[in-house]
Amino acid sequence: MIHLQGFWKTKEIYLDGKALTPDKSFLLCKHSPDGFNWGYLGSGAGQLALALCQELYGDDVAREIYMKFKVDFIKDLPQDDFIIDLDVNKWFEKLKAETEK
């Protein structure tokens, strides 16, 4: 379970209370020079999904799964300030099981 908080006007994201910036994820792929966004399936949502997966699972796994993460979690976040707990562990285990088949 992760705790995620976002601030719409500033596009700030906090993962388990720690500020997350797009800088590290830019090294893997620069989807959105403007940084993070959410609540849709565009480039800012892709950058956020990549950054979150990178923090949670490392670079190699993040490259493989972040687009699915964007579809399953990021697109449905409200285009507003939010605080949410996401059960990404269960999601990740299910995803691993599906890919091992």
Each residue's pLDDT tens digit, 12-68: 999 999 999 999 999 999 999 999 999 999 999 999 999 999 999 999 999 999 999
- Asked if residue 32 belongs to a domain, the reply is yes
Domain count, the chain: 1
- Asked if residue 98 belongs to a domain, the reply is no
- Asked if residue 12 belongs to a domain, the reply is yes
Region 78-97 average pLDDT:
95
- Asked if residue 33 belongs to a domain, the reply is yes
Residue 55 phi, psi (nearest 5): -65, -40
Half-sphere exposure of 58 (CA within 13 A, CB side): 2
Q: Structural domain of residue 65, as residue ranges?
A: 2-84
Nearest Cα neighbor of 20 from 64, 79, 74 is: 74
Instruction: Say what the pTM is.
Output: 0.96
